[in-house]
Amino acid sequence: MGMKKSVIAALFLVLILLPASSLMATSVYKVGGIFSSTGRASFLGDPEKKTMEMMVEKINAEGGIDGHMLEAVIYDSEGDPAKAVSAVNKLIHKDKVLAIVGPSTTPTTLAIVNFVERAQVPLISCAAGVKITTPVKPWVFKTAQSDLLAVAAVYQHMKNAGIKKIGILTVSNSFGESGKMQLLDQAQDFGIEVVQVESFGAKDTDTTTQLTKIKAASPDAIVCWGTNPGPAVVAKNVKQLKIDIPLYQSHGVASPKFIELAGDAAEGIILPTGKILVTELLDDKDSQKKILEGYQTDYSAKFNSNVSGFGGYAFDAVNMLANALKGSNGDKNKIRLALENTRNHVGATGEFNFSDKDHNGLSPEAFVMVEIKNGTWKLID
Amino acid sequence: MQEIIQYLFSGITTGAIYAVIAVGLSMLYSSTELINFAHGEFVMIGAMSMVTFWVHMALPLPVAIGCTLALGCALGLLFERFAIRTARNPQPIVLVIITVGASIFLRGTGMIVWGKDPFSVPPFSNHESLEIFGAALLPQSIWIVAAALLLAGGIHFFLKRTLTGKAMVASAVNQKAAWLSGIPPERMAVLAFAISTGCGAVAGIFIAPVTMSSYDMGTILGLKGFCAAMIGGLGSLWGAFAGGILLGVLESLGAGLISSGLKDAIAFILLLLILYVRPGGLFSAKEAKRF
């Protein structure tokens, strides 16, 4: 009888432990995603969401991470900070994710930073704002290039071209204001003097007044900082006023749409862009070229549409997160440390070198300067 | 000096846009006493239809303009028939709110039809910008000024010199009296809407080449057009034209001489001042003159 009891007890133990241990072996790593996949910023969030889904599928098809399948829980913030906050709370408390990718925009990211810091969940944002990672917050990383780097790339090009005096024309929204701040802050470092500062409304139909004022200050070049369609109006107005000094634009218009909008007026415009836009023009020795081509092939095969730089931010975030998850055994602090120690990671956006002082990890080389020639992009040094 | 001339030209360019929008708004007001806050959306529909008919379908320019105009008028007709006339309590405030609702509806529909991307339309006449006293003037600006003048003149003639026009004004002044003298007020209202939204579409047609067109361009243009109509005095067609040009020039001078960051603020402060001194607007049509 005693033996029978112990056999039953042993069987019980096995029954209890078996599912648990078999669960352990196949337990999934849950990661969260918050993207503005609909709404005004859907041009950012939609490719990011698709990219994350594609990457997770790919990682799982290759056997997951240390035998763990990945599961992505993705919420739509609609570009609304309040919705991003409710999404982050769901991810942290209900879904209990190991890390979060996104959100897509600077305001939605800044809204949730405190929540992930308090809950100690690693966050890799896909937004560009400098404020996200300066000052450095232990649990917050980002993959998008800051406008700080874009301005540095533009100024470096100007310095090489011998441009000393510039007039700047920025759109009066958060993108333009942030660009204006960087343009004014960094000018001195490159020996450049800003002789005229003007702004225009995002929906203005004409900017000739501002350009006339800039022209009167006789600068060597004009920098326009905005997102479509305003900069295309500026480009047209510059041609109409016959202002024949170089016109620089921001990475905010680095898309074929800008060339389509500005038409002939786009000729000769110089702007910084992520390498994804000019993949086929890159030198074969460029370490990013293969990665960009791979991403492009996978993405267009799956979604039948072209890649954008924005999807690239999610591509890098998921890749670095997957690397950090390896050997972490699901420990969030280990994931955080692994992210912080990521060095020489060549991604779609650039080469990442994170450290405890830099949670963006990119250098101005993440941008290349291009000139618009014959309705297409041409790489310049 | 050269800069001042350029500011003036720039002001006239933007002002002409406001003027051509204000004329349509003012026309509807003088024939139905109603302010249509969806007017900007009809401007958007005009501009975006030009993108579809002229750029995408590559129809000849006059055909594209004709199609766009027909679409604008037809939508105005539907708008009056299904949104305005069906109002059970047709008080002015109710109708104005209906037009606000319609503007949201039209903007949303525009987004679904044309997507969220902006589009550009080539200019009608491909000339270099003209140089006058060292300042540049766009040929398309002349087109817009001409369109605004022709619209204002044509509608003025229609309302003052033709029987239908007079009947329209009559039913705006007193619907019952007009009905008693054999004027069908409903038909007049429908006609007024079709003409007014057609004017909006014309504005869109001429604006499209100078600026970029997108589904959400109408809101701010409609507001600026409304300001222009207020400055000139609602109901006065020439006032609407002058008000538009004045608003544009004030904006441009404000941006050029003071600060481009304060451009809109300067224009709106002046608008408040003008309305404070002359509440009816600069060219207000005296009520008594109607009869």
CA distance A209 to chain B (A): 5
pLDDT in tens, B38-59: 999 999 999 999 999 998 999 9
Number of structural domains found in chain A: 2
A241·B210 Cβ contact <8 A: no
State both tokens at B123: 């200019």
| Residue A336 belongs to some domain of the structure | yes
Please indicate, yes or no, whether residues A116 and A250 belong to a single structural domain of this protein.
no
Please indicate, yes or no, whether residues A91 and A173 belong to a single structural domain of this protein.
no
Instruction: Give the model's pLDDT for residue B286.
Output: 52
pLDDT in tens, B14-41: 898 999 999 999 989 888 888 899 999 9
Please indicate, yes or no, whether residues A373 and A236 belong to a single structural domain of this protein.
yes
Contacts of A260 in chain B (CB under 8 A): 120
Mean pLDDT over A49-70 rounds to: 93
Contacts of B221 in chain A (CB under 8 A): 203, 205
pLDDT band at A20 (very low <50, low <70, confident <90, very high): very low
| Percentage of chain B exceeding pLDDT 90 | 36
CA distance A43 to chain B (A): 9
Q: For A145, which DSSP code?
A: P
Mean pLDDT over A273-302 rounds to: 90
| CATH code for residues B2-290 | 1.10.3470
B210·A206 Cβ contact <8 A: yes
Residue of B nearest to A173 (CA): B261
| Percentage of chain A exceeding pLDDT 70 | 93
Mean pLDDT over A225-252 rounds to: 90
| Residue A8 belongs to some domain of the structure | no
Instruction: Give the model's pLDDT for residue B290.
Output: 41
CA distance B140 to chain A (A): 11
| Residue A37 belongs to some domain of the structure | yes
Element at A123 (helix H, strand E)? strand A123-125
Instruction: Give the model's pLDDT for residue B127.
Output: 65
State both tokens at B63: 């055909």
Instruction: Give the model's pLDDT for residue B132.
Output: 80
Please indicate, yes or no, whether residues A327 and A248 belong to a single structural domain of this protein.
no
Contact (CB, 8 A) for A134 and A160: no
B255·A263 Cβ contact <8 A: no
Mean pLDDT over A319-329 rounds to: 93
CATH number at residue A341: 3.40.50.2300
Mean pLDDT taken over chain B: 87
Cβ contacts below 8 Å, chain A against chain B, sum to 86
Domain residue spans of chain B: 2-290
A172·B261 Cβ contact <8 A: yes
Please indicate, yes or no, whether residues A220 and A341 belong to a single structural domain of this protein.
no
Contacts of B129 in chain A (CB under 8 A): 240-242
pLDDT higher than 70, residue A130: yes
| Residue A6 belongs to some domain of the structure | no
pLDDT higher than 80, residue A230: yes
pLDDT in tens, A266-286: 999 999 998 988 888 888 888
Interface of B with A (CB under 8 A): 3, 6-7, 9-11, 13-14, 17, 116-120, 122, 129, 135-136, 138, 207, 210-212, 214, 216-217, 220-221, 251-252, 255-256, 260-261, 263-264
pLDDT in tens, B200-211: 999 999 889 888
- CA–CA separation, B214 vs A166, rounded Å? 31
| Residue A231 belongs to some domain of the structure | yes
Pick from A205, A216, A242: CB nearest B211: A205
Please indicate, yes or no, whether residues A241 and A94 belong to a single structural domain of this protein.
no
Burial A274-311 (b: 16+ CB within 10 A, else e): bbbbbbeebeeeeebbebbeebbebbeeebeeebbbbb
Residue among B79, B37, B15, B73 at smallest CA distance from B194 = B73
Question: What range does the domain containing A133 cover?
Answer: 25-146+287-364
Burial of B53 (0-12, 13-18, 19+ CB in 10 A): buried
pLDDT band at B285 (very low <50, low <70, confident <90, very high): low
Mean pLDDT over A141-149 rounds to: 90
A263·B10 Cβ contact <8 A: no
Please indicate, yes or no, whether residues A43 and A132 belong to a single structural domain of this protein.
yes
| Residue A19 belongs to some domain of the structure | no
- CA–CA separation, A203 vs A209, rounded Å? 15
**What is the interface pTM, i.e. ipTM, of the complex?**
0.82
Pick from B118, B216, B255: CB nearest A209: B255
Residue among A205, A239, A240 at smallest CA distance from B244 = A205
pLDDT in tens, B175-219: 888 899 999 988 888 999 999 999 999 999 988 988 889 898 998
Mean pLDDT taken over chain A: 89
Please indicate, yes or no, whether residues A328 and A372 belong to a single structural domain of this protein.
no
pLDDT higher than 80, residue A112: yes
| Residue A50 belongs to some domain of the structure | yes
A209·B116 Cβ contact <8 A: no
Mean pLDDT over B70-84 rounds to: 92
The larger pLDDT score, comparing residue A56 to residue B271, is at A56
CA distance A206 to chain B (A): 7
A208·B210 Cβ contact <8 A: no
pLDDT higher than 50, residue B287: no
The larger pLDDT score, comparing residue B86 to residue B73, is at B73
Which stretch, A18-22, A348-352, B144-148, has highest mean pLDDT? A348-352
pLDDT band at A314 (very low <50, low <70, confident <90, very high): very high
Q: What's at A335, amino acid-wise?
A: I
CA distance A197 to chain B (A): 9
pLDDT in tens, A332-349: 999 999 999 999 999 999
Contacts of A224 in chain B (CB under 8 A): none
Cis bond before residue B185 (omega within 30° of 0): no
Pick from B122, B136, B252: CB nearest A240: B136
Instruction: Give the model's pLDDT for residue A17.
Output: 52
| Residue A103 belongs to some domain of the structure | yes
pLDDT in tens, B81-136: 998 888 877 788 888 899 999 999 999 999 899 988 888 888 887 767 778 887 88
